[in-house]
Amino acid sequence: MRVSILQTDIIWEAKQENLRLLGEKLTALCGHTDLVVLPEMFSTGFSIDTHRLAEPVDGLTICTLRQWAEKFGFAIAGSYMAHDTFPNSDKRSYYNRAFFLTPEGEMNFCDKRHLFRMGNEPEHFECGTSRRIIRYREWNILLLVCYDLRFPVWSRNVNNEYDLLIYVANWPASRHLAWDVLLRARAIENQCYVCGVNRTGTDANNIPYKGGSVIYSPKAEVIAHIPDNHEGISTAYLDFSFLETFRERFPVWKDADRFIIP
């Protein structure tokens, strides 16, 4: 399976402009990839203006991405600012919601589990309560969001239930070393491919981002990356037979501890 990572600057809270720029980039990937992974909150930046920017599942962002996935023939993954409305009520719940949209029209969603308290995220969003394994092109994929990276129990790969682990992020430059070290660790401990996609540039809160978007093999070898502080796209071929052989010859997973997540 071909996976493309897309590292980009994000124009603050400019949803339509970010979508326009993304559309130009995706056009060039038509026929050259099976999955494109975007940064966390790719259309707004890491904003907490939920009342103005959050969307339902049938809003502009998801509808546009679904059209592109079908048109270009590849899946698109990332996260956006979402809201759910309670039946017979005007009350809303807000989520940092990860999405995985296939060219066949399938929609997969999961909400960020660990909200970043240092950025006041828990005051504006609800946390996710479950994780979902997505089936796509014969691969099992787990999609998580940014701060989830720091909590390895949440990503534990019990009995090889997934093959590819994806993190989408707005991970600041000041903690760039942690980003890279933890992505490598997730690949090693879970015996899977790991894809991390981060933004670049500086947001409206004057927080800089270096990027560091990368794909690691199950042995934590770099198979795709984008230079720091640059926008760009990089595509890697993920070899399922290599993964199966590695797990068979070095079956660390058989000795893994069991965890119970409440």
Catalytic residues: 40, 112, 146
Question: How many Å apart are CA 121 and CA 253, to the nearest integer?
Answer: 34
| C-alpha R_g of the chain | 17
| Beta strand 201-202 pairing with 222-225 | unpaired
CB 201 within 8 A of CB 10: yes
Spacing of C-alpha 214 from chain mean position: 12
The two three-digit tokens of residue 238, written as one number: 């993920």
Which stretches does DSSP call E strand in 86-163? 92-101, 107-111, 133-136, 139-145
Tokens of 242: 């290599």
User: Residue 160 has which token pair?
Assistant: 């090889």
Strands 2-7 and 201-202: unpaired
The single-letter code of the amino acid at 201 is: G
Alpha helices of 127-239 — where are they, by DSSP H?
A: 176-190
CA angle (193 as vertex; 139, 81 as ends), nearest 5 = 80
Are 88 and 129 in contact, with CB atoms under 8 Å apart? no
